Structure 1
Amino acid sequence: MDERLTSALTHQGFKQATSDNSLLTKGQGDDFIALIIYVDDVVLASPSAYAITEIKIFLHDSFKIKDLGSLKFFLGFEVARSLKGINLCQRKYTLDLLKDYGFLHSKPASTSIVPNKKLSKHDGNPLDDITTYRKLIGKLIYLTNTRPNIAFAVQQLSQFLAAPIDLHLIAVHRILRYLKGTPDQGLFFPATSLLVK
């Protein structure tokens, strides 16, 4: 992250998160504002339109930023806002994953795993090339950010990264076929919630 940007934001009263230095926050309640910085992209979030406008002006005056408007796409995440809430999904990421591994035109599976099927490290043949398996698991782990419904299956298969067998790869392919039937599924955060006061 650019130290000039961090320093300038710190002088404006922002505090860098200890768990992730790309997150900076300021204020609380209705005056709360958060910034996430990734390379040369900055995402702003706040309940206050005034606070967002104020920080945009500061950033433009200091760094000549370009305002791209409301967030629609960030790091493979697609964001759609409505009066009802925010929908977060990784549709393009999912479709690219299916295309890259030849599953774009496959028959969809109704579940991400075969129910009651226990995976073992001994019941199949070792893969000649474990790199593909490892890459697929890594990509699927990233997809669990918006697809918690595949998290259990991915977690189970990630246990075999050291020595995957052909049956493990078949199980990963089932996850891909499941995703084929539900590429635009994701998370919805309602604008009103009984959990938030």
Structure 2
Amino acid sequence: MQRKHYLPIPVNTLSRRCYLIEPPRKAHDQRNLLTGDSIQDIVAVKKFLHHEFRIKDLGNLKFFLGFEVARSQQGLILNQRKYCLDILAEFGFTGCKPANSPSNPTVKLKDDEGDLVQDPTAYRRLIGKLQYLTNTRPDISFAVQQVSQFMSKPRYSHLNAAFRILKYLKGCPGLGLFYPSANPHRIQAFSDSDWATCCITRKSTTGYCVFYGNCLISWKSKKQSTVSRSSTEAEYRALASVACELQWLKYVADDLCLQIPLPFPTFCDNQSAIQLAKNPSFHERTKHIEVDCHLIRAKILDGLIVLSHVPSKHQLADMFTKSLYPGPFNVNLSKMGLLNIHHPS
């Protein structure tokens, strides 16, 4: 499962510091967002748009395409509480007993075990809604990525795994991303991979998370496209993915006129992958990943990233590559910058 980014469109007619964020064309909600770092420029752009299109100003952002925005002097919280409650109500889980994690670490999903679901349309609709919910819920990204692999022929074991996600959401429907008003001006990333974790294809899972200061701004949990011969290769492919993401974020920061210090610290818990990135020579065992090697080397030489080792117990991207037991899962989740304003305790 990969997040979809909606790029801001600069309104260059009046100011380079104002950006118009448009929803997808197929969305029924025709509202747009206008953001910027100057109130005077925003007012001027609104006057210009009203003169051209007769727009209606709805005030400060509170609800947009299922996203709820709550502001205070401490910062901003972005969540999808109403959307989450609507999913629970649609599938009859408003009165269920909450689960303490989105997936069961002891359960391995397979494509040939259990009876086929009689109505796969309901399963696909549920997974589609959960995929949209991952825009503000990184804690369910890996679990949703797992159940979304069986859309063509879902079985009841897959449906029960999807219901486990709903039971987890029942206990924390209002959890959302918190962006404090006082935040360090830096970008750092954590990259991880679980080697040969898929029991069907033996492909590895890539997971990473990117922080702007203490705020989570990008994350990914996705099965790799090819089979890796070693854990080092799997980790290196994950590093290549996060390097591309950091390059994209650098372009976005430049468009927003943000001067973020380089290089971006990138943390990996595999020493072999780090040493391979620092070694410019290739040998027979690394020829099959030479393209990724050149990519990482290029980003290091360009000064975009710097690789550092992090112990596995402090690897924040761990929750995007495997199912964790409730203890490690909650410890990892507490470091993601998620808050629930409906249950402050």
TM-score bucket (shorter structure):
0.7 to 0.9
Q: 1:7 corresponds to which residue?
A: none
Shift of residue 180 of structure 1?
Answer: 0.5
Q: How does 1:89-108 map to 2 (within 5 A)?
A: 89-108=79-98
Q: 1:25 corresponds to which residue?
A: 10
Per-residue CA shift, 1:11-49, capped at 9, x if unaligned? xxxxxxxx96x842146xx95211023463121110111
2-structure distance, mates of 1:32, 1:41 = 20
2-structure distance, mates of 1:156, 1:86 = 31
Q: 1:36 aligns with which of 16, 21, 24?
A: 21
1:31–1:47 Cα contact (<8 Å) kept: no
Shift of residue 148 of structure 1?
Answer: 0.6
2-structure distance, mates of 1:195, 1:139 = 34
Tell me the secondary structure at the aligned position of residue 34 of structure 1: strand
2:10–2:16 Cα contact (<8 Å) kept: no
Cα–Cα, structure 1 residues 122 and 40, in superposed 2: closer, same or farther, change >3 Å?
A: closer
Q: 1:49 corresponds to which residue?
A: 39
Between 1:141-150 and 1:48-57, the stretch displaced more is 48-57
Per-residue CA shift, 1:64-107, capped at 9, x if unaligned? 21111000000000011222221000000000000011011111
Q: 1:128 corresponds to which residue?
A: 118
Tell me the secondary structure at the aligned position of residue 139 of structure 2: helix
Q: Amino acid of the residue matched to residue 32 of structure 1?
A: R
1:118 equivalenced with 2:108 (yes/no)? yes
Between 1:110-119 and 1:164-173, the stretch displaced more is 110-119
2-structure distance, mates of 1:146, 1:46 = 22
Identity %: 49
Tell me the secondary structure at the aligned position of residue 159 of structure 1: helix
2-structure distance, mates of 1:37, 1:160 = 32
Q: 2:65 aligns with which of 75, 81, 85?
A: 75
Shift of residue 116 of structure 1?
Answer: 2.9
Q: Amino acid of the residue matched to residue 139 of structure 1?
A: K
1:31–1:51 Cα contact (<8 Å) kept: no
TM-score (norm 1): 0.83
2:98–2:170 Cα contact (<8 Å) kept: yes
After TM superposition, where is structure 1 displaced by more than 6 Å over at least 4 residues in a row?
A: none
1-structure distance, mates of 2:170, 2:72 = 26
Q: How does 1:133-144 map to 2 (within 5 A)?
A: 133-144=123-134
Compare relative contact order (CA 8 Å, sep 6+) and give the higher one, 1 or 2: 1
Per-residue CA shift, 1:101-160, capped at 9, x if unaligned? 101111111110012321111221111111111110000000000001000000011111
Q: How does 1:51-66 map to 2 (within 5 A)?
A: 51-66=41-56
TM-score (norm 2): 0.49
5+ residue gaps, structure 2, are: 24-28, 187-259, 261-345
1-structure distance, mates of 2:51, 2:129 = 39
2:120–2:153 Cα contact (<8 Å) kept: yes
Q: Report the count of equivalent residues.
A: 176
Tell me the secondary structure at the aligned position of residue 167 of structure 1: helix
Q: 2:171 corresponds to which residue?
A: 181
Q: Amino acid of the residue matched to residue 45 of structure 2?
A: I
5+ residue gaps, structure 1, are: 1-18
Aligned alpha-carbon RMSD (Å):
1.9
Q: 1:9 corresponds to which residue?
A: none
